[in-house]
Amino acid sequence: MHIIKTLDDLCIKEPTIITIGNFDGVHLGHQRIIQKVVDKAKKENLKSIVFTFLNHPMNFFRAGTVKSLTTLDEKYLFIKNIGIDCCLSIPFDSYITNLSPAEYVEKILVNKLKAKEIVIGHDFTFGKNKSGNSCMLKEIATLYDINVEIVEPIKINRTRISSSIIRKMIENGDVDKSKEFLGRYYSLQGKVIHGMKLGRRLGFPTANIQINEDVVIPKKGVYYTKIYFKNKVYYGATNIGLNPTIGNRSLSIETYILDFDRDIYEEEIIIHFIERIRDEKKFHSLNELTSQMKKDIEYIRNKKTIYI
Ligand SMILES: Cc1cc2nc3c(=O)[nH]c(=O)nc-3n(C[C@H](O)[C@H](O)[C@H](O)COP(=O)(O)O)c2cc1C
Ligand SMILES: Nc1ncnc2c1ncn2[C@@H]1O[C@H](COP(=O)(O)OP(=O)(O)O)[C@@H](O)[C@H]1O
């Protein structure tokens, strides 16, 4: 998949089928739309394009409003895995927000992207002050002989799948629920950094990852997790919190990896959140903390064959 980060570099000659959106999380609803684009592209011999943004549109209007469910690299990977030919990922900036709906279609979708077909969600808005909607896009596109398909939202138990609902689930620690909406476990990737070196002394070394302030962090607590390290899968007990028993610490995300004994400082690991086990607690002693950690790990050992 080609990833193009500026409209200036774009030189598309063949007719295309496009979907447009922020696609944060690339959840089941997004996957349905993107899959439709891939299938139609094959059938109609068109190049498939996902048109998305480097920054969340809400953060353009008010910096720091929204944390992401995926880093850009994760977003590109998930889109690529569905089979898209090209991902146009450009800044959501004053150029984009100042185009009228008619200019947006002509300058970007027609002149730059050579669109023959466009697939969008029912709530799609575009152009200056979000003045364009899916019906308006359909009308303008007719002038250029472009077909527009509007996809209805997917629901799970009558709740519409949306990035904002998934964000709330993860912030509430409901990672098992978020899996149903995302179509995969919520995950965090990070470099293993040095901590206080207490874990090893307690008998449970924990790989602490560098925290990315731009992504959603699950609610503080202890989680049953799956760890990917160098393409191998392990199970883990991950604690997200302030380690109140030790006192005066900043937020850490740390994992005891079961059946593992290697120095992995500076290496990347990916943590998949399967289930939240309990709240993080302040224990009266380190002995009490370690006996609870033993119980957490035993719980995971008993469960780990259930989730593959
Ligand atoms: C499964 C697990 C559960 C934990 N639960 C708690 C807890 O409830 N309260 C707490 O203060 N710290 C908890 N911790 C964090 C430990 O205090 C931490 O691993 C220890 O301080 C080692 O830190 P270090 O990696 O910086 O050396 C937990 C850690 C793990 C791996
Ligand atoms: N089973 C394991 N789970 C997690 N980390 C492990 C494990 N075995 C060895 N390690 C290594 O030990 C380090 C954690 O030890 P710890 O004493 O907790 O130090 P720190 O406070 O720097 O995290 C990890 O970063 C990793 O390099």
In the numeric block, which tokens belong to residue 131?
A: 């003045």
Q: What is the pLDDT of residue 64?
A: 83
The predicted model gives 133-148 an average pLDDT of 96
DSSP codes, 99-145? S-HHHIIIIIIIIIT-EEEEEEETT-EESGGG-EEHHHHHHHHHTTT
pLDDT at 18 over 80: yes
Give the pocket of ligand 1 (CB within 6 Å): 195-199, 204, 206, 208, 222, 237, 239, 243-246, 254, 256, 280-281, 289, 293, 296
Per this entry, what is the length of the chain?
308
Q: ipTM > 0.95? A: yes
In the numeric block, which tokens belong to residue 300?
A: 């995971």
pLDDT at 308 over 70: no
Q: Quick one: which of 204, 220, 161 has its CA closest to 23? A: 161
Burial class of residue 228, CB neighbours in 10 A (0-12, 13-18, 19+)? middle
Measure 3 CA to ligand 2 centroid, in angstroms.
Answer: 36
Residue 111, phi then psi, degrees to nearest 5: -70, -45
pLDDT digits (tens, 9 = 90+) for 176-194: 999 999 999 999 999 999 9
Domains in the chain, please, with CATH? 2-153 (3.40.50.620), 160-303 (2.40.30.30)
User: With a 6 A CB cut-off, is 265 part of the ligand 2 pocket?
Assistant: yes
Mean pLDDT of the chain: 94
* Distance (Å, whole) CA 87 – CA 76: 7
For ligand 1, atom 12: residue with the closest CA: 243
Measure 267 CA to ligand 1 centroid, in angstroms.
Answer: 21
